[in-house]
Structure 1
Amino acid sequence: MSAPDGSIRDMLAVNLKRLRSRRGLSLSELSRRSKIGKATLSQLESGTGNPTIETVFSLSRVLEVPISELLDTRPPAGLRVVRAGEVEALSGEGLDLRPLQRIESGDTVFEVYDQQVQAGSRRDSLGHVGTEHTIVQSGRLGVRVAGEEAELGPGDYVGFDAAQPHGYEALDGPVRSVLLLQYGKDRAPSQSPYASPGEGE
């Protein structure tokens, strides 16, 4: 999703400043709403911070924008090949996300990720904007969405409203899957639906 010549850190620095300014938020106010330290936010905006999945999802919620608005630049025209080894991973506890592409179609925006859940790891989210789609490629993935549970194997699919509390768990070894986040282009919630916006994906 990010440009070949721009790291996640660099893209986040540029876009975070722009989006914070657009929302009229000071660093202090963004810190208060996101539960991310002011010093950490300052480092992220200067391009010297080390963004995690939790940080990016929290900022996405507070700023009410898709994740790609924080990490993306304009995609190049023509054939685009994304090599797994050349994409910088956005990492969190037990989870790596590699942004592959942002796709705009009509009034819908899709973000495509290579998602890897480490063996024995469980990832929980209070929710975030959009609809979440996951297709398991390898391993067995436990999925919980608003109290419902399902177990997925290779080739299985799950989809749900991502605003609901949800989580993934690698059941018997690492899990690799394709994660597709879907947004309405004009969807901008008037307020965050999350009780504790500091909790990340």
Structure 2
Amino acid sequence: MDGSETGVGSRLRRLRESRGISLSALARSAGIGKATLSGLELGTRNPTLETLYAVAGALGVPLTALVLEPGAEPAAAADVRGAAVTATLLEVFEEPGATFELLRMRVRPGVVQQSPPHAPGVTEHVTVYQGVLRAGPADAPLLAGPGEHIAWQADVPHVYGTAGPDEVVATLLIRSPRQIG
């Protein structure tokens, strides 16, 4: 989201090494290939939204820990694209017990995006402005139309898609509890 894959890569490497996790172990935990993870760290691969969420979940950090330098303004973030979702970071809110990430998202019709589980305790809250969204836990997705809100525990596999031919425009608020320790 910062427009610089090398920035993501260096933050990723710092986070991984600070936790004493090997490249192989993180790749396994995130469910991605070791070559993909190495390419992200080296800045030779463009991260998808799905990959960034998988790595953030495996590290137990919010997405912004990977995509923004500490103290950087969300306006410095660029769009990140997944199979169906294009997300733009609007704001990050910090509270003593949690980090909140507010994103604008567009969901393209005709494609379903699989999102890996986030860290334990993470919740997602979506408000739809246009279109009809089908999102939530992969085994029981929820529907929301314009003006409606849905929420779910995001520490399980979840999906994003449309329930019709129109693009969905929505906001996504991700609440990530702070890790202790």
TM-score interval for Structure 1 and Structure 2 normalised by the shorter chain: 0.7 to 0.9
**What residue number does 1:194 align with?**
none
| Deviation, structure 1 residue 126 | 4.3
Contact 2:102 2:173 in 1 (8 A): yes
| Aligned CA-pair RMSD | 2.4
Q: 1:156 is matched with which residue: 148, 151, 158?
A: 148
Q: Within the alignment, does 1:90 sit opposite 2:86 as a pair?
A: no
* CA spacing shift, 1:43–1:162, aligned 2, 3 Å: same
User: What 5-or-longer segments of structure 2 have no aligned partner?
Assistant: none
How far apart, in 1, do the equivalents of 2:117 and 2:136 lie?
12
**What residue number does 1:120 align with?**
110
Q: 1:40 is matched with which residue: 32, 36, 41?
A: 36
TM-score (norm 1): 0.77
Q: 2:178 is matched with which residue: 170, 177, 185?
A: 185
* CA spacing shift, 1:12–1:184, aligned 2, 3 Å: same
How far apart, in 2, do the equivalents of 1:165 and 1:36 lie?
15
Q: Within the alignment, does 1:14 sit opposite 2:7 as a pair?
A: no
Q: 1:176 is matched with which residue: 165, 169, 172?
A: 169
Q: Secondary structure at the match of 1:102?
A: strand
Q: Secondary structure at the match of 2:179?
A: coil
**What residue number does 1:140 align with?**
132
Q: How many percent of aligned residue pairs carry the same amino acid?
A: 32
Q: Which moved more, 1:9-18 or 1:36-45?
A: 36-45
* Larger Rg computed on CA atoms: 1
| Deviation, structure 1 residue 146 | 6.1
* CA spacing shift, 1:11–1:119, aligned 2, 3 Å: same
How far apart, in 2, do the equivalents of 1:81 and 1:60 lie?
17
How far apart, in 2, do the equivalents of 1:45 and 1:106 lie?
30
Read off the aligned partner of 1:19 and give its amino acid letter.
Answer: L
Contact 1:120 1:174 in 2 (8 A): no
How far apart, in 2, do the equivalents of 1:65 and 1:81 lie?
17
**What residue number does 1:103 align with?**
93
Read off the aligned partner of 1:106 and give its amino acid letter.
Answer: P
Contact 2:58 2:118 in 1 (8 A): no
Q: 1:30 is matched with which residue: 23, 26, 29?
A: 26
How far apart, in 2, do the equivalents of 1:46 and 1:14 lie?
8
Q: Secondary structure at the match of 2:61?
A: coil
Number of residue pairs matched? 178
* CA spacing shift, 1:93–1:187, aligned 2, 3 Å: farther
The Cα offsets for residues 46-103 of structure 1, whole Å up to 9 and x where unpaired, read as 2222101121111112212111111122345xxx784xxx852211112211122221
Contact 2:85 2:113 in 1 (8 A): yes
How far apart, in 2, do the equivalents of 1:112 and 1:187 lie?
23
TM-score (norm 2): 0.85
Q: Within the alignment, does 1:61 sit opposite 2:57 as a pair?
A: yes
**What residue number does 1:195 align with?**
none
